[in-house]
Chain A
């Protein structure tokens, strides 16, 4: 499942995938894979992304059950 919330938060802060990747210490492809829903990040990486984007875990990674 695509993580559109992350993509929107990143775009909202005018950051490219590369900039976010450098800020959290991963490759651009890893950020791309998370946004496309191809990779489930660890809690450590989720926290780093949240801190960089100034969001909470709920705001970026919580999904409601269908």
Chain B
């Protein structure tokens, strides 16, 4: 394993650790406020089910297309594993955006404000790594996307979620005024 790969795996481990710490902090805050993790009302649970269905179908379609492109057409557009990660990101994006659109992302007691803060921080955290990889020209190797695209993909995913929350919040405010 070369130094660059080692740095990537350490970065990945640190990233997972950071997510775990953020989740624990959020849960501690929720506990203090008396918010249960699954505190969704009956309509929200139904809507989350619909969102999960759509995300699942999206994942199936993307994996099928990817399988046909790489298996049957022999076009390898990304390194092994990277393609699956990107398909998962797209699926997660569909789930979260659908939940937000259907007012089923935040629990009854949560406010979008905490979500906006967290997603802004996570999006901004990806910027330095993305710039570093862009400067090094790491994104493509031998005509295939490398693991380095995970950072910009994460950034895009969280930016999409952030924009979806802001749009929904704006729509809700307009609805309140009416």
Residues of A within 8 A of B103 (CB): 27, 29-30
- Residues A25 and B41 in contact, CB atoms below 8 Å apart: yes
- For the complex, count residues of A whose C-beta is within 8 A of B: 13
Please, what's the 1-or-0 string for A25-42, where 1 marks a CB less than 8 Å from any CB in chain B? 111011011000001011
- Residues B108 and A27 in contact, CB atoms below 8 Å apart: yes
A32 to B103: give the CA distance in the assembly, Å: 11
Please tell me if B74 contacts chain A, counting CB pairs below 8 Å. Answer: no
- Residues B175 and A30 in contact, CB atoms below 8 Å apart: no
A45 to B41: give the CA distance in the assembly, Å: 10
- Residues A26 and B175 in contact, CB atoms below 8 Å apart: no
Closest to B175 in A: A32
- Residues A42 and B42 in contact, CB atoms below 8 Å apart: yes
Please tell me if B44 contacts chain A, counting CB pairs below 8 Å. Answer: yes
Identify 28 residue pairs between A and B in the complex whose beta-carbon atoms are under 8 Å apart, listed by A's number: A21-B108, A25-B41, A25-B108, A26-B41, A26-B42, A26-B43, A26-B108, A27-B41, A27-B43, A27-B44, A27-B108, A29-B43, A29-B103, A29-B172, A30-B41, A30-B42, A30-B44, A30-B103, A32-B175, A33-B43, A39-B43, A39-B46, A41-B42, A41-B43, A42-B42, A44-B42, A45-B41, A45-B42
Binding site for B on A (CB under 8 A): 21, 25-27, 29-30, 32-33, 39, 41-42, 44-45
A25 to B175: give the CA distance in the assembly, Å: 21
A27 to B103: give the CA distance in the assembly, Å: 9
Residues of A within 8 A of B41 (CB): 25-27, 30, 45
A29 to B112: give the CA distance in the assembly, Å: 13
Shortest C-beta distance, B176 to chain A (Å), equals 9
A29 to B110: give the CA distance in the assembly, Å: 13
A26 to B108: give the CA distance in the assembly, Å: 6
A65 to B108: give the CA distance in the assembly, Å: 34
Q: A21-B108, A27-B44 are in contact. List 18 more A-B contacts (CB 8 A).
A: A25-B41, A25-B108, A26-B43, A27-B41, A29-B103, A30-B41, A30-B42, A30-B43, A30-B44, A30-B103, A32-B175, A39-B43, A39-B46, A41-B42, A42-B42, A44-B42, A45-B41, A45-B42
